[in-house]
Amino acid sequence: MDFHAHQNEHEHRYRQLAASLPVAVYSCDTEGRVTEFNRAAVRLWGRTPVAGAEFWCGSHAMFTLDGTRLPHDQCPMALAVREAREVGRIEAVVERPCGERRYVLAHPQLTRNQAGAITGAINVVVDITERKLLEERLRETDRGKDAFFSTLAHELRNPLSPIMSAASLLARSDDPGVTRMAGIIVRQAAMLERLVDDLFDASRITRGGAPLRMADTTLARVLDRALDTVRAPLTARRQTLGVESPPGEVALHCDEVRVAQLIGNVLLNASKYTPPEGAIRLSVRIDCDNLLVTVSDNGIGIEADRLEQIFQLYAQVDGADMHGKGGMGIGLALVRDLCERHGGTVRAHSDGPGRGSRFEIVLPVVVSGA
C-alpha cells in the first residue's frame, strides 16, 4: 500500500470513529464553514446543516447560560479559530428548530497541518442537560432542607424556655429526688438548646451568615466566653485543658460573641473526639495585627483526605460514629464561616488516625498599638 492510500485509509477510519461516537463532533475550516459532523451532532442540533454553507455551528440558535443570544460567529468554535488559541471547556445553550433548548459543554480544539499552520478546528460537544436539571433539583432540595431546619429550630426553641424555667424551679425543692431529676432535665434541655443553636447557625451559613457586630473588646473577655462553653464537657470527661495566652491586656476589634463561639466550637470539637482523661491545649499568640489561636489534642485524629472536608456543612469526622461522637456536622463549618467573615483563616492538621489533631486559626482582629 502506497503512502497516499495508507493516509486515505487512516482518514476513513477516523471518520468512521467520529461518526460512531455517542457525543456530537463536528469540524470547521479557518473561514468557519462547517465541513463535517456526525450523527450525534445532528441529534443534538435537531437538524442537518448544509456542509460548507453554514458557519461555526450547526445549531438553529445559541445562547449563553444567562439566556443572552449568542451569535454563531461568537461561539466557542469561532473564538478558538479566530484567536488561534485553546479556549478550554465552555458551557452554552443550543436551541433546536422546535424551540427545545439543550445545555452543552463545548471542547473546541484547533487542527493544524504538518507545517503547524491552523487548518480549522474540531469541536466535541457534550449534552449536559440532564446534569443541569439534576443540579437544579439538588439546589431545590437544599433550599427545602434549609427552610425545614430553620422552621424546626424555631419550633423546638419555643418550648425550651418554659422547660428550663420549670426545671430551675424544681431544682429549689427540698426533696433530693426532685432536685436530682430537675438537674437531669436542665442538663438535657441545655444539650437540646445547643442542638437548636446549631440548626440556627446552619441556616445562617446557607443564607450568607448573620451580620457581625464589630466592636472593641479584649482578648481576656473573648477567652472567658470561649472557656465557659467547654468547662462542663471537659469536667464530665475528666479531660485536662492547658491554656497559654499573652500576658497583659490585648485589645481586639471583632464580634466578641462570634469569635468566642468559633474558639469554643474548636475546643468542643477537640473534647468530643478526645478520649476521657485526654489532654487538650489552647495556645494564643499575637503576630502584628493577627490573633493566632491553636487548639491541639491527643484524640482520634483525622485522615489526610478529610482535613478540608470536615469544614463543610454536615460533614463528619471519619471514625466518629464508632466512637459514639458523631454530631450534626455544623460546628466546624461555622468556625470556617466566622473566620472568613472576620477576614481570617482556619486550617486542620493531623498525622492520621489515632495521632490527634491541631487546628490553627488566624484572625486579623488585634488593635495595633493599644
pLDDT over threshold 80, residue 149: no
Q: State mean pLDDT over 216-244.
A: 93
Q: State mean pLDDT over 236-250.
A: 93
What does pTM read for this prediction? 0.61
Q: State mean pLDDT over 315-339.
A: 72
Q: State mean pLDDT over 360-366.
A: 97
Q: Quote the pLDDT of residue 325.
A: 54
DSSP-assigned states of every residue in 193-210: HHHHHHHHHHHHHHTT-P
Q: Quote the pLDDT of residue 331.
A: 87
pLDDT over threshold 50, residue 116: yes
Q: Quote the pLDDT of residue 168.
A: 84
Q: Quote the pLDDT of residue 365.
A: 96
pLDDT over threshold 60, residue 348: yes
Q: Quote the pLDDT of residue 327.
A: 65
The Cα–Cα gap between 91 and 81 comes to: 18
Supply the mean pLDDT for the chain: 87
Q: State mean pLDDT over 247-260.
A: 93
List the beta bridge partners of residue 124: 25, 107
Nearest to 120 by CA among 17, 37, 23: 37
Model confidence at 6, pLDDT cuts 50, 70, 90, reads very low
Sorted by where each starts, the structural domains of the chain and their CATH numbers stand as: 3-127 (3.30.450.20), 134-206 (1.10.287), 215-363 (3.30.565.10)
The better pLDDT of the pair 208, 174 is held by 174
Question: How many CA atoms does the CB half-sphere of 3 hold within 13 Å?
Answer: 0
Nearest to 282 by CA among 336, 237, 222: 222
Percent of the chain residues topping a pLDDT of 90:
61
Q: Which three cell numbers stand for residue 54?
A: 453554514
Percent of the chain residues topping a pLDDT of 70:
91
Model confidence at 7, pLDDT cuts 50, 70, 90, reads low
Order of strands across the sheet that contains 279-287: 240-244, 279-287, 290-297, 357-363, 345-349
Are 207 and 149 contacting, i.e. CB atoms less than 8 angstroms apart? Answer: no
Model confidence at 321, pLDDT cuts 50, 70, 90, reads very low
Are 129 and 103 contacting, i.e. CB atoms less than 8 angstroms apart? Answer: yes
184-206 pLDDT, tens digit each: 888 788 778 777 877 777 777 77
The Cα–Cα gap between 107 and 87 comes to: 8
